[in-house]
A and B are shown apart, each in its own frame.
Chain A
Amino acid sequence: MADTDKLHVSLVTPERELFAGEVDQVVAPGVEGEFGVLAHHAPFMTTLAEGDVTILDGVTKRVFQVRGGFADVNEDGMTILAEHANEYGENVH
Chain B
Amino acid sequence: MASLKDMRTQIGSVKATQKITKAMQMVAAAKLKRAQDSAENARPYAKRMAAVIANLARGITGDSAPQMLVGNGSTTHQLVVVATADRGLAGGFNSNIVRAAREFIAQQTAAGNKVRLITIGRKGRDQLKRQFGDKIVESFDLSGTKVLTIDVVAPIADLIAREFSEGRADVVTLFYSRFQSVIAQVPSAKRLIPADVDLSALEDTHGAVYEYEPSEEELLETLLPRNLSVQLLASLLENNAGFYASQMSAMDNATRNAGEMINAMTLKYNRKRQAQITTELIEIIAGAEAL
> Which A residues lie within 8 Å of B210 (CB)?
43-45, 74
> Which A residues lie within 8 Å of B223 (CB)?
47, 70
Size bracket, chain B contacts: 20 to 34
Interface-facing stretch out of B43-51, B64-72, B103-111, B120-128 = B43-51
Majority-rule SS of B interface residues: helix
Decide: A14 near B211, CB < 8 A? Known: A43-B205, A81-B48.
Answer: no
What is the chain B residue whose CB lies nearest that of A35? B213
Chain A CB within 8 A of B206 CB = yes
User: Binary interface profile of B, 207-250, with partner A (CB < 8 Å = 1, else 0)?
Assistant: 01111111000010011001001100110000000000000000
Asked if A83 and B211 make an inter-chain contact with CB atoms under 8 angstroms apart, the answer reads no
Chain A CB within 8 A of B24 CB = no
> Which A residues lie within 8 Å of B96 (CB)?
none
List B residues 13-49 near A (Cβ within 8 Å).
38, 41-42, 44-46, 48-49
Asked if B48 and A46 make an inter-chain contact with CB atoms under 8 angstroms apart, the answer reads no
> Which B residues lie within 8 Å of A42 (CB)?
208, 211
In the complex, what's the smallest C-beta–C-beta distance from B196 to chain A, in angstroms? 18
Interface size in chain A (residues, C-beta < 8 A): 26
Asked if A12 and B213 make an inter-chain contact with CB atoms under 8 angstroms apart, the answer reads no
Chain B CB within 8 A of A17 CB = yes
A-B interface contact total, Cβ < 8 Å? 80
Q: How far is the CA of A23 from the CA of B226 in the complex (A)?
A: 28
Q: How far is the CA of A53 from the CA of B3 in the complex (A)?
A: 76
Asked if B48 and A12 make an inter-chain contact with CB atoms under 8 angstroms apart, the answer reads yes
Asked if B45 and A14 make an inter-chain contact with CB atoms under 8 angstroms apart, the answer reads yes
List A residues 34-78 near B (Cβ within 8 Å).
42-47, 68, 70, 72, 74-76
Q: Which of B38, B45, B233, B234 has the most CB of A within 10 A?
A: B45
Asked if A43 and B208 make an inter-chain contact with CB atoms under 8 angstroms apart, the answer reads yes
Asked if A30 and B213 make an inter-chain contact with CB atoms under 8 angstroms apart, the answer reads yes
Query: Measuring CB to CB, which residues of chain A are less than 8 angstroms from any residue of chain B?
Result: 10, 12-17, 30-32, 42-47, 68, 70, 72, 74-76, 79, 81, 83-84
Beyond the given pairs A14-B149, A17-B41, A30-B213, 7 more chain A to chain B contacts, judged by CB atoms under 8 angstroms and listed by A's residue number, are A12-B45, A31-B213, A47-B213, A70-B226, A74-B203, A79-B48, A83-B150
